[in-house]
Amino acid sequence: MGGVNNVTRFALPLDLQLFAGEKTEKATPKKRQDARKKGQVAKSMELPSSSILFGIVLLLFGYGSIMRDKIENMFLFTIHDYMGMELTPSTAATIFGRLIFEGLLLLAPIFGLALVMAVVASASQVGFLITMEPLKMSFSKLDPIKGIANLFKLRALVELLKSVLKMTVIGLVVFFTIWNSRDVLIEMGRWPLIHTFSYTAKLIMTLAIEIAVILLILALFDYMYQRYEHEKNLKMSKDEVKQEYKNSEGDPLIKSKIREKQRRMALQRMMQEVPKADVVITNPTHFAVAIRYDPKKSEAPVVVAKGMDYIALKIRQVAEEHGIVKMENKPLARALYDQVEIGQTIPADLFQAVAEVLAYVYKLKGKTTIT
């Protein structure tokens, strides 16, 4: 026992509130919507650029020969048509204008494809999103101490590792591609110039395709990592979930008080109808149902109040205070309580039993019997 007491004496108290702030809960739809409005979405900056590069490389692979022919024709046309002309400011402007126009036509497919790839890559990640929130001026962004601290965050380290990995992979691809072509490159010194240019162009295109594919694969992995980071950053603590529920749905305590107040008001209104009843049918203690019949307002008797236990007692007390006839009929009281809501007329299967009760009450009061 002494050992147990010693352990108990030196045991540290465990405060469960320390774990209340841990972000273990998935983000709610509202949290995701608010983050999206602020521009906080899972987005890889690598995916658009790598997609553009991949698209341009593929375009050049299929469009390269056409571009080469157009460039040759452009220069041949310039040499044949303009070299014999007298060089004046006017002719110089004409030549350069024509060359610029031809160059823009040549590059238009590349620029167009780059734009399309950028839009598709961005839309596939975040959909249609326009927000000015990230552009708003914030003095916290200008805090030098906070900026230095950000350099040592895990995210900054990950970005550095990504850059190192990317450069390493590209370097290895370039090295092994050239290394595998080393024998041909050595022999190129004996080749005609046109063959040298042709092989060099093919080698460059091969490198471009390999690099574009690798960068695209790395960008896809980066996008998956960004989604993981985004989900982790959006996680909420249990207290945050509760607070959001309070803010959006209302404080449960306040809502329960409102419902309680509404119940009291409904009970008060119901009790105000008891003095207008013709009869109160009882169980005699567990159920009480107050009935009123006014031929001018309804074709059948109407339940104006009902209740069980404490409310049944209150109905009987109010009825007694106002001289309302009380009649004990256990089966009828239970059937009326179960089948008829307040303000509804008596159903056909209970009409005969209720009519007999009302006939008895009217006989006591000297009224006309219900028909």
Q: In the prediction, which pLDDT does 1 show?
A: 47
Average pLDDT over residues 18-37: 75
Confidence of residue 168 (pLDDT cuts 50, 70, 90): very high
Please state, for a pLDDT cut of 90, what percent of the chain lies above it.
Answer: 8
Please say whether the beta carbons of 322 and 304 come within 8 A. no
**In this model, does residue 64 exceed pLDDT 60?**
yes
Confidence of residue 135 (pLDDT cuts 50, 70, 90): low
Average pLDDT over residues 76-103: 74
Average pLDDT over residues 237-264: 77
Q: In the prediction, which pLDDT does 171 show?
A: 92
Q: In the prediction, which pLDDT does 172 show?
A: 93
Say how far apart CA 104 and CA 98 lie, in whole Å: 10
Say how far apart CA 351 and CA 48 lie, in whole Å: 77
* 139, HSE (Cβ side, Cα atoms, 13 Å): 0
Q: In the prediction, which pLDDT does 249 show?
A: 63
Say how far apart CA 140 and CA 143 lie, in whole Å: 5
Please state, for a pLDDT cut of 70, what percent of the chain lies above it.
Answer: 82
**In this model, does residue 235 exceed pLDDT 90?**
no
Least reliable range by pLDDT among 30-39, 203-212, 213-222: 30-39
* Residues counted in the chain: 371
Confidence of residue 8 (pLDDT cuts 50, 70, 90): very low
pLDDT tens-digit series, residues 282-335: 887 788 898 888 888 888 888 888 888 888 888 888 888 888 888 888 888 888
Which residues are CB-neighbours of 211 under 8 A, at least 6 positions away? 53, 170, 173, 174
Least reliable range by pLDDT among 85-94, 110-119, 137-146, 233-242: 137-146
* Domains, the chain: 42-128+141-229 (no CATH), 272-365 (3.40.1690.10)
Confidence of residue 216 (pLDDT cuts 50, 70, 90): very high
Least reliable range by pLDDT among 12-21, 23-32, 41-50, 199-208: 12-21
**In this model, does residue 197 exceed pLDDT 50?**
yes
**In this model, does residue 9 exceed pLDDT 60?**
no
CA 182 to chain centre: 54
What's the mean pLDDT when you consider all of the chain?
80
Which residues are CB-neighbours of 174 under 8 A, at least 6 positions away? 207, 211
**In this model, does residue 258 exceed pLDDT 90?**
no
**In this model, does residue 368 exceed pLDDT 70?**
no
Which three-class secondary structure string do you get for the chain?
CHHHHHHHHHCCCCCHHHHCCCEEECCCHHHHHHHHHCCCCCCCCHHHHHHHHHHHHHHHHHHHHHHHHHHHHHHHHHHHHHCCCCCCHHHHHHHHHHHHHHHHHHHHHHHHHHHHHHHHHHHHHHCCCCCCHHHCCCHHHHCHHHHHHHHCCHHHHHHHHHHHHHHHHHHHHHHHHHHHCHHHHHHHHHCCHHHHHHHHHHHHHHHHHHHHHHHHHHHHHHHHHHHHHHHHHHCEEHHHHHHHHHHHHCCHHHHHHHHHHHHHHHHHHHHHHHHHCCEEEECCCCEEEEEECCCCCCCCCEEEEEEECHHHHHHHHHHHHCCCEEEECHHHHHHHHHHCCCCCECCHHHHHHHHHHHHHHHHHHCCCCCC
Q: Is 152 exposed, middle or buried (0-12, 13-18, 19+ CB in 10 A)?
A: exposed
Identity of the highest mean pLDDT range in 65-74, 196-205, 244-253: 196-205
**In this model, does residue 7 exceed pLDDT 60?**
no
Average pLDDT over residues 32-55: 85
Confidence of residue 194 (pLDDT cuts 50, 70, 90): confident
Confidence of residue 214 (pLDDT cuts 50, 70, 90): very high
